[in-house]
Amino acid sequence: MGSVCRASPLPDDYWRRPLAPQGEAPATWSPAERALAPAACGTCHVGVFADWQSSVHAKAFSPGLVGQLLTYSAAETQICLDCHAPLAEQAAAFERARAKGQAHWPQAQGLAAAGNGCGGCHVRERRRFGPPQRETGKEGPEFVNGAHGGVIRTKDFEQSDFCASCHQFPQDQAINGKPLENTVEEWRHSPHAAAGRTCQSCHMPDRRHLWRGIHDPAMVASGVRPDFLANAQGARFTLTNTGVGHAFPTYVTPKVIMHAVLLDGTGRPVADSARSHVIERRVVYENDEWREIADTRLLPGESASVEMRWGDAQLARVWLEVRPDEYYHVAVYAGLLDTLPAGEARHLIAEADARAQASPYVLFETVLKRNTAASEAPPLTAR
């Protein structure tokens, strides 16, 4: 795509994919300045590097991705690398490892193993780009200490459009009118956008390179609000998207389930009393095309509820189950494990599937007690 902002000092081809090779670094630069590996950047940017190491960007070149790439051509691989390992030098490193039959070894993947590292966002033709100077807000070239030729500072790094190259798919790839990943457009129509709260406001607070999201329980808990009602008639669990600046969840991979079940006098679930509500965008890929089955995600301000009547019960347990990698486990890895022969690719997919199965977690687990004094509460609709 073109530049993020027409008045931007970013080159017009800043986000053109695949990225162009960086070319040779000046001979006067030190080895750390010449290197494109995140660890080299970390020699000076210690805190940023530590944050990045803990992030999903650092894990973008994952076993699940590599297991699939081993079955792809170089051209098909490049489409994935555009976001998962965007530097041209990373693609070259992976193809060199593939040619040696070593592409499944992280130690042989070289720069590719870094995933979405520093250079994918900050380096073009060996020039470094970054946000405005923190204390002054100053933009433009800055040559403090002269390291790697300085940095060109621009507000583009503080705008949501900067994230669009990977987190906003084009409209011509829409499924039922919505691109498979539509995060930036969802944000544009949100109260967050109207209030000037960008992607970076939530996912890079104080410029930290964390990018917490659906895999992080604390991040999810901060973006949605649970409400509980227990009156004489029954129990209700409501979830509202109060702080997520896009649909919750935004992508097709997670599945979120609201649960409720009645408990008997011993605290055990009452048979046939369980109720649930699924929050997800469910899609399938069949006959070489995508199809949307359902979209029950919560846009900003929207709510969903699960409720039940008491019957003879006095207690109910409610909770939110978050499965961050459900689509990978159910639709991607299961099919590959059924079809791939024994070998490196299958081994990596099995490892990725084990991680996906270990990723679910529970939030807001609460036991509600029948409240006969709360008859003034709104009646429940559940039968």
DSSP letter string, 64-99: HHHHHHTTS-HHHHHHHHHHHS-SHHHHHHHHHHHH
Domain boundaries, the chain: 31-158, 217-369
Give dist(CA 112, CA 126) in Å, integer. 18
Predicted confidence at residue 173, as pLDDT, reads 87
Convert the pLDDT of each residue in 219-250 to its tens digit. Answer: 999 999 999 999 999 999 999 999 999 999 99
- Residue 40 is classified by DSSP as H
pLDDT tens, position by position, for the chain (383 residues)?
Answer: 333 433 567 988 999 999 999 999 999 999 999 999 999 999 999 999 999 999 999 999 999 999 999 999 999 999 999 999 999 999 999 999 999 999 999 999 999 999 999 999 999 999 999 999 999 999 999 997 779 999 999 999 999 999 999 999 999 989 999 999 999 999 999 999 999 999 999 999 999 999 999 999 999 999 999 999 999 999 999 999 999 999 999 999 999 999 999 999 999 999 999 999 999 999 999 998 999 999 999 999 999 999 999 999 999 999 999 999 999 999 999 999 999 999 999 999 999 999 999 999 999 999 999 998 865 555 566 54
- Closest CA relative to residue 220, chosen from 359, 67, 14, 383: 359
Cα 267 to Cα 211, 257, 313: the distances in Å are 39, 22, 10
Predicted confidence at residue 4, as pLDDT, reads 40
Predicted confidence at residue 9, as pLDDT, reads 78
Give dist(CA 77, CA 92) in Å, integer. 11
Predicted confidence at residue 146, as pLDDT, reads 79
Phi/psi at 121 (nearest 5 deg)?
Answer: -105, -30
Give dist(CA 308, CA 383) in Å, integer. 7
- Global pTM reads 0.93
CB-CB contact of 69 with 80 (8 Å): yes
Helices 88-99 and 74-84 pack at an angle, to 10 degrees, of 140
Predicted confidence at residue 374, as pLDDT, reads 66
Convert the pLDDT of each residue in 80-104 to its tens digit. Answer: 999 999 999 999 999 999 999 999 9
- Residue 359 is classified by DSSP as -
Tokens of 367: 């036991």
Predicted confidence at residue 373, as pLDDT, reads 82
- The region, left, alpha or beta by phi > 0 then psi within -120 to 50, assigned to residue 247 is beta
Predicted confidence at residue 377, as pLDDT, reads 55
